[in-house]
Amino acid sequence: MRTKYVLIAAGFVAASCLALAVAATANVPLRPAVDTPLDNAKEATIDGMIGLSAEEVFERLKGMDFFLSEEFSARAVHRVFGNRKTEILARAMDVLKSPMMLVLQGRLVSRAADIGVARRIFEVFPDEAASLLMERYRTGDAITKGNILRVSGRIEGEIGIRSLLIEALDDKTTCEAENPESGGEPLRLCDLAYNQLVQRYQIQKVLRAIGPVYRIEVRDYHIDIMKDLLRRGDLRR
């Protein structure tokens, strides 16, 4: 009799996982399109970057022309580092060690541009990036884990990244320092995981993003809504 109940329970878990997988495939992120040539001027710009170091290319990718065109930046990463993935992925991973906001010479400085370039690199090389990010997440500190969540939302692939984001919904570890300019409680890992899941699956009719402006009780309320959606496999809401 006990064996029968175990089998029934196992079947229920498997069915739940299948429901989540089917629902998730409705809006899963895909690797950026990188194989189609762009206009002559953009291709010439990329030509001039071939052979440069990962550091030099990374800094160029922070420029406004690349910032305004995800297609342009993805194409550049693919063409310049298609045969040098290890080099540029290592540079992107290094970005994840530092906080999103830094105090330099008494001024609060955002590292959003660095995080944005790293995210684009991971999206262009999703297979290699997923394994690197999951391994670093297991050993990283709270700041590193927070940055990993920030760059994971649109990486193609459903097995590893999805599990990482879902598990992080239960982690209430603070991963940011207090920001006197924004006020409120610093963000936690679960808050960032929520934001990335909304973006990843384009979930409708939920709070679009959790920010420091929201009280902890409000954040937890919306995270519970997300967990319920996940349990029901209803990510198309």
Query: Token pair for residue 141?
Result: 């500190």
Q: How many structural domains comprise the chain?
A: 1
Is the residue at 237 inside a domain?
no
Is the residue at 225 inside a domain?
yes
**118 phi and psi, to 5 degrees?**
-60, -45
Query: Mean pLDDT, the chain, as a whole number?
Result: 87
Distance separating alpha carbons of residues 93 and 151, to the nearest angstrom: 10
Expressed as residue numbers, the domain containing 116 is 2-232
pTM equals 0.85
Is the residue at 76 inside a domain?
yes
Rounded to 10°, the helix 160-168/189-201 angle is 140
Is the residue at 117 inside a domain?
yes
Q: Which pLDDT score, from 0 to 100, does residue 182 have?
A: 67
Q: What is the pLDDT of residues 83-103, one digit of tens each?
A: 999 999 999 999 999 999 887
